């Protein structure tokens, strides 16, 4: 049976990439509004309530407003904003990071898409904490670099208008909006020390967690690698490999879209220093690809359908 989908915020970067992944999918019928009605409250209300699924690609306040417009008990929602990532009654839309999460998504009415940085962080940390290899009360540090598309329209315009702008460090007040998401879904006792930055590449992301394993306990980098490899074994989206022999990890200005998530475990000769690194497309598994994956799961379809792998 064909199911109807409305993307509220379809003209933004995330919305456009979701629509591209859904293009030609016979399982879905896309509901759209003419440009003149795109911000009309009554038109949005009608489109939302007439749809089986709604994907919100909106600023946080607008996403909350959209949810408040629902006046039925059947429309299911995937929210790509930050608004509901730690909200009661919402299921966190990261199928791989925790046992049973895929089933929770499948049965949910309201699903919150993970943030791009937390996707990399939680993919690395959550399974290791669940296995007892890493503690919940450690002061984790996260260094990360992203393509500038992650900053939305304003940052995209800035990078394209300023050809000499090559690197932007931000979040210097140590109060980034992704921090509660990482702490809560990681089950951590402390906030993550988060140091994000942006480079002159449209898409792509490296998420890097340095660990002094000798201070944490007796665990080694090889044990972390083995645990992650076992946890993600068989995944069509997440891959794990050793950083042994790697001299560098790259993001290119011309990287193609991808919905893959690559995890690396790099350790020193003694195995007691490690860097856990995730490489992903901030617009793919970090946003649009994750939304389509969640939609597939909720609709009872192959979760990789339409993904760019």
Q: Is residue 304 in some structural domain?
A: no
> Pairing state of beta strands 193-199 and 141-147?
parallel
Backbone angles phi, psi at 211, to 5 degrees: -135, 130
- Answer yes or no: do 51 and 99 share one domain: yes
State pLDDT tens for residues 55-107: 999 999 999 999 999 999 999 999 999 999 999 999 999 999 999 999 999 99
What is the rounded CA–CA span in Å between residue 295 and residue 289? 10
- Answer yes or no: do 155 and 93 share one domain: no
Of the residues 116, 199, 265, 283, only one is catalytic, namely 116
Residue 303, H or E segment: none
What is the rounded CA–CA span in Å between residue 266 and residue 13? 33
Q: Is residue 305 in some structural domain?
A: no
- Residue 224 in contact with residue 265, Cβ under 8 Å? yes
Q: Is residue 306 in some structural domain?
A: no
Q: Indicate the average pLDDT of the chain.
A: 95
What is the rounded CA–CA span in Å between residue 62 and residue 79? 11
Q: How far is CA 79 from CA 56, 58, 144, in A?
A: 5, 8, 23
Would you say residue 271 has pLDDT above 80?
A: no
- Contacts of residue 58, Cβ cutoff 8 Å, sequence gap at least 6: 8, 9, 66, 80, 81
**What is the pLDDT confidence band of residue 272, given thresholds at 50, 70 and 90?**
confident
pLDDT at 220: 94
What is the pTM for the complete model shown? 0.96
Q: How far is CA 238 from CA 98, 111, 232, in A?
A: 13, 20, 6
Residue that has been written with the tokens 């979760």 in this structure: 303
- Residue 56 in contact with residue 79, Cβ under 8 Å? yes
**What is the pLDDT confidence band of residue 197, given thresholds at 50, 70 and 90?**
very high
Q: How many domains does the chain have?
A: 2
If you average pLDDT over residues 170-181, what whole number do you get? Answer: 91
* Per-residue exposure over 37-52, b if at least 16 CB sit within 10 Å of its own CB, e if not: eeeeeeebebbbeebb
**What is the pLDDT confidence band of residue 28, given thresholds at 50, 70 and 90?**
very high
Percent of the chain with pLDDT over 70: 100
**What is the pLDDT confidence band of residue 253, given thresholds at 50, 70 and 90?**
confident
Is 57 annotated in the active site?
no
pLDDT at 205: 97
Q: Is residue 103 in some structural domain?
A: yes
Q: Is residue 309 in some structural domain?
A: no
- Answer yes or no: do 105 and 252 share one domain: no
Residue 15's domain spans which residues? 3-114+287-298
């Amino acid at each position: 049976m064909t199911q109807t989908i409305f993307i509220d915020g379809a003209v933004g970067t995330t919305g456009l990439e979701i629509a591209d992944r859904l293009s030609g999918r016979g399982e879905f019928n896309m509901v759209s509004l003419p440009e003149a009605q795109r911000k009309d409250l009554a038109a949005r209300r009608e489109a939302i309530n007439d749809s089986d699924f709604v994907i919100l690609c909106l600023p946080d306040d607008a996403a909350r407003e959209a949810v408040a417009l629902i006046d039925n008990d059947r429309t299911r929602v995937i929210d790509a904003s930050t608004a509901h990532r730690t909200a009661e009654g919402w299921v966190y839309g990261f199928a791989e990071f925790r046992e049973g999460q895929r089933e929770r998504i499948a049965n949910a009415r309201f699903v919150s898409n993970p943030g791009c940085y937390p996707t990399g962080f939680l993919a690395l940390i959550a399974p290791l904490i669940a296995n007892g290899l890493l503690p919940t009360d450690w002061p984790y540090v996260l260094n990360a670099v992203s393509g500038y598309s992650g900053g939305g329209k304003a940052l995209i315009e800035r990078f394209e208008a300023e050809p000499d702008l090559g690197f932007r460090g931000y979040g210097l007040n140590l109060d980034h909006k992704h921090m509660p998401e990482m702490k809560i879904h990681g089950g951590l006792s402390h906030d993550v020390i988060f140091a994000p930055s942006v480079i002159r590449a449209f898409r792509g992301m490296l998420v890097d967690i340095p660990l002094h394993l000798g201070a944490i306990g007796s665990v080694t980098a090889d044990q972390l690698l083995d645990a992650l490899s076992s946890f993600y074994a068989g995944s069509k989206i997440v891959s794990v490999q050793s950083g042994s022999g790697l001299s560098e990890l790259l993001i290119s200005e011309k990287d193609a879209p991808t919905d893959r998530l690559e995890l690396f475990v790099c350790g020193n000769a003694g195995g007691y220093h490690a860097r856990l690194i995730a490489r992903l497309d901030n617009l793919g598994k970090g946003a649009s690809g994750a939304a389509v994956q969640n939609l597939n799961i909720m609709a009872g379809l192959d979760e990789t359908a339409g993904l760019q792998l």
